[in-house]
Structure 1
């Protein structure tokens, strides 16, 4: 029993000392470290504590002198604590946090991490096989001949990389024209999932299909990489389509999104062109949009939002059945028709006016963008139906763009200014839309925009989609950043342009958009619209006008009595105060560490003085303490530097 009690006491004491060392080192450094690093540093301090104290007591001859003994024990404990702090700082300096996953990371989900690593290398080899290695390493800049290789690599990468290519094909602001053209050929096709697997998903989400639906067609209408669509009939007799997510696709998407993020960060760190393109921001925005697309409840809300703002009866938007919509199953109204890309024979057979159909579709999308602020962000020909009654229908609302009131107002002001040919007003509205750098020559930008308008919107010119390419070149030239919401607008228009050209060859989307702007301007200038706008502005100004006389009276009274003062607050922003405070603390700690070190050296160099032991004077003891204090303060300064 005595031996067991001794072992338990030893283990308990060691654990307590380790915790004290770890907690003390972490608190003195004032930087958060992982549990593994903190525990390791505490164990290192505990391991050297006894030898250091023993060495101090033995070498300094204080075994028999009880008065200085506690002071030397405290000095030894401080030295052991210094060792723990040194371990943490050096570990952070040579192996920064996040560069190597912790053991706890590896112990959880080993199989999934192995699969993710295997998939990462497989994707890397796909890019290398297509000759893209120099671009991944940042040793070359993309050129014309790499566009096709890049497209083929994305196609072989799978669902996430195909969708990434489709998104990139609409980003004329960051990619050259040859890349946009090649990536535009990517198609989202997939082999249909067998019925038993689809049936299992429906049962998990809604229950037995035979109980939920009166009829259910097991042959899919269409199959894409994320979901496939089936015909069905509700017990009430309504015809619906059921969109079912492919089993296991969420895990595949999350794994590949992690790979896309890693590749983007690698390119950002190694390649200057990637940093200029903002590949990390592109990857983050793409991941957010694709994760939303995996939740069909978001698509149901998107569909309802667009339908609620619908202004045209010539374009039909299906309504979802909310009680039958889950994150993996979407049930919505069935629209009987054919995709616009295959509707050519029907249009010709029925003698429909192609230009009128194109104008109706463009007018609907533009009104969604400019007036409503909620618009279909992916209107490619497969998502547009020519219905049996001659109307158009919009489907697949997994990708929807949203513009707040401020952005819509900026776009409207830019539209008005372009119609007037006012380059200065266009510049003002343009700068409200984009993110501007700190140093921007607004006069040079106004002249560039004026030249752009004269070239593409002047008398005798026929504007086309080439103007968007020139516009994005102008954006890059002045280091402007296009917000994701505005990029979604250009993406929708660029996608729509292909379908409109296919529907009505020779249809000028820019010219028609200009006509839409003029029509919208006339609507805004009608007496009723002007009166409504004036009423809205007056209502927003009423609270200010009501308070203005009282405030003017207070100001004049204070000025008359000589009590008018002005308060200026420096560093009013909390972030600025934290930054300045942190810098001052670092400078102060550096000064204190230097002072403690100099004083320690001076004390150690003094001869004589009161004797604490036979070998150590009081001045020397204070010198050793000063060295410990200097070391602690120096590590306190270095820890946040290495952590950043």
Structure 2
């Protein structure tokens, strides 16, 4: 404990005890090994005798320990979200790090086996690349297969041969054993299983990488339900795979122009964020209830299953059982009941758009497995683990975008677009309006291919270096995914034609159920307070100018970027000084080595060269960071 106190006082900053204890252990061990081979190897009897070098041994233990702590600090993740009290260097983190590296090596080996990691592959035809990608995702399993299934719905981004290959992906997951299911139920339910359920079918009706679904009957109400159970230990494994997936997508983006054009990395990041929400069933329950409440005010027949929130937890979700099948298997139901397929498609499409435009909360993943056809022919939406949310400004932007598209009004289209993109200081609005005008002329014909329209819009966004807010991009992804889903019912479904039809039929929703007069009146009310304050502001300004009291305050450190830059410069200077200091001390130690006591001086040589190495590391680190910053 005394040695720990000395080390922490010398460091001068708060460091976790686990990190200090581990550094002291390694410091004593490494120094003892060096001390033995340098002093005692040829004279082991000196172990029990006093030697002047014993004092140096303690000194070098302290230096070595501080050096190890320094290495730990350099390897630690000092993100701005973490405080000093939460940065713990534990053996569990080390174990997780090795687990992550092992899994990464496994994925890399699979990618290399399928030639997905070589540039030669990407110079071949797209068909061979698609096959290699499908095989890689299939063999990696888990979230990789799910990501491939999501990509297979992106007909707006991927060529047909990729869509066909990725559509072949199927999750082959093992069912949980009866003991594992019972363990989850006993852990999550307030009492015994039979106190909640009259019956519970241990044979799952569906299974995926995250969890599996069982049928059951509630004891109190005899209501048929489905119970989603989260797989044990899925959270840690999922986070590791998602991290690797993002790295893998980043590598593909560097090697393949196609991957860059479709935004493979951003797709992977969005997918990872959605998956992390899906492993907490409380989020899905809250999302489902919120959307159900919002849909009460909509004129829609789309069914959303009831959530039994009182017996649901983060790992257990109890949902109303609905009699129906997915759209992929339910087209026969529509034909048997003589239901117009086009009207069925419109019902679902209009519901999603109303979710976007009115409540701002929408189903973010309406893939074929999440859209049902009930036995009475009604549509239903299930699985709200992934939900998007838009603020009022973004909703207004979407509405103006829709009206601008319908009226071919480039200014209105641009006005809506600017509310949907992240801030950009160098936008040439005149050139952007001209480009959007040309885009609307070229791409608003009913005969125009939707995929081409979307491709041209995203191409225009890239040209002006614009990017949507993440949730806005999520809304676009939701609509595009929905198009792929609804095309299963009737492949003549076109999202652009339906969007223009929706704008014409639901203009009251676009205008927030207001007449033109009401819109003008509300806009006038909103700017009235600003107009009334202008004379007073002008009077205050002229008075200060007359009295010589007009001052201008520039708060340099008010901007986060400025603070970040200053911190970077200070850190670089300190690192440079530390490297120079270590180098100077090391040179001093080497100069002392000209003395006569060979053993002690040889021991000093070791630490002198160690100091020179540390000095070189610091100086090279400064140069690399300076070069990288000058490039970016």
Q: Normalization by structure 1: what TM-score?
A: 0.72
Runs of at least 5 residues in structure 1 that lack an aligned partner in the other structure: 1-11, 51-75, 602-630
What does 1:131-530 correspond to in 2, within 5 Å? 131-134=115-118, 144=126, 145-169=128-152, 178-188=161-171, 190=173, 192-206=175-189, 207-245=191-229, 247-248=231-232, 250-251=233-234, 254-262=236-244, 264-265=246-247, 268=250, 272-273=254-255, 282-310=267-295, 311-435=298-422, 442-458=429-445, 461-521=447-507, 523-524=509-510, 528-530=514-516
SS of the aligned residue for 1:502 comes to coil
In the TM superposition, residue 436 of structure 1 has moved relative to its aligned partner by 6.4
Measure the CA separation in 1 of the matches of 2:238 and 2:578: 50
SS in 1 for 2:450: coil
Distance 1:496 1:219 in 2: 31
Deviations 1:565-587 (A, max 9, x none): 44444453254145336636866
Task: For residue 231 of structure 1, give the secondary structure of its aligned residue in structure 2.
Answer: strand
In 1, Cα distance between the equivalents of 2:471 and 2:505? 24
- CA 1:183–1:527: 2 relative to 1, 3 Å: closer
1:302 Cα shift?
0.9
Alignment partners' CA distance in 2, 1:211 and 1:470: 58
Name whichever of 35-44 and 382-391 sits farther off: 35-44
Alpha-carbon shift at residue 294 of structure 1 (Å): 1.4
Secondary structure of the 1:309 match is helix
* Residues 169 and 181 in structure 1, CA contact (< 8 A), matched pair in contact too: yes
Q: 2:108 aligns with which of 124, 128, 136?
A: 124
Q: Is the 8 A contact 1:315 1:394 kept in 2?
A: yes
What is the SS of the residue equivalent to 2:372? strand
Label 1:558 to 1:172 Cα distance change in 2 as closer, same or farther (>3 A): farther
| Contact 2:212/2:229 (8 A) holds in 1 | yes
Change in CA separation of 1:531 and 1:88 when aligned onto 2, cut-off 3 Å: farther
Q: 1:118 to 1:87 in 2, by over 3 A?
A: closer
Give the superposition deviation at 1:359.
Answer: 1.0
Deviations 1:195-251 (CA, angstroms, capped at 9, x unpaired): 444333222211433221233344433333333333333234352322232543x43
Which residue number corresponds to residue 44 of structure 2?
Answer: none
2-structure distance, mates of 1:155, 1:270: 16
Inter-CA distance 439–182: structure 2 relative to 1 (3 Å threshold): farther
Q: Scaled by the length of structure 2, what TM-score is found? A: 0.73
Cα RMSD after superposing both structures: 5.1
The DSSP-based 3-state class of the residue aligned with 2:282 is: helix
Bigger drift between 324-333 and 448-457 goes to 448-457
Change in 2 beyond 3 A, CA 1:589/1:215: closer
Instruction: Give the SS at the match of 2:118.
Output: helix
Shift of 1:518: 2.5
How far apart are residue 551 of structure 1 and its match?
A: 3.5
Rg comparison, structure with higher value:
1
- Choose between structure 1 and 2 for higher RCO, CA contacts under 8 A separated by at least 6 residues: 1
Aligned pairs, number: 574
Q: Summarize the Cα distance change of 1:166–1:401 in structure 2 as closer, same or farther, 3 Å threshold.
A: farther
- Once structures 1 and 2 are overlaid, which stretch shifts more, 147-156 or 303-312? 147-156
Q: Deviations over 1:269-302 (max 9, x none)?
A: 7973479576665544433321211111111111
Relative to structure 1, the CA distance from residue 436 to residue 139 in structure 2 (aligned partners, 3 Å threshold; closer, same or farther) is farther
The answer to whether the 8 Å contact 1:214/1:232 transfers is yes
Report deviation, 1:38.
6.1
- C-alpha distance 398-592 of structure 1, shift in aligned 2 (>3 A): closer
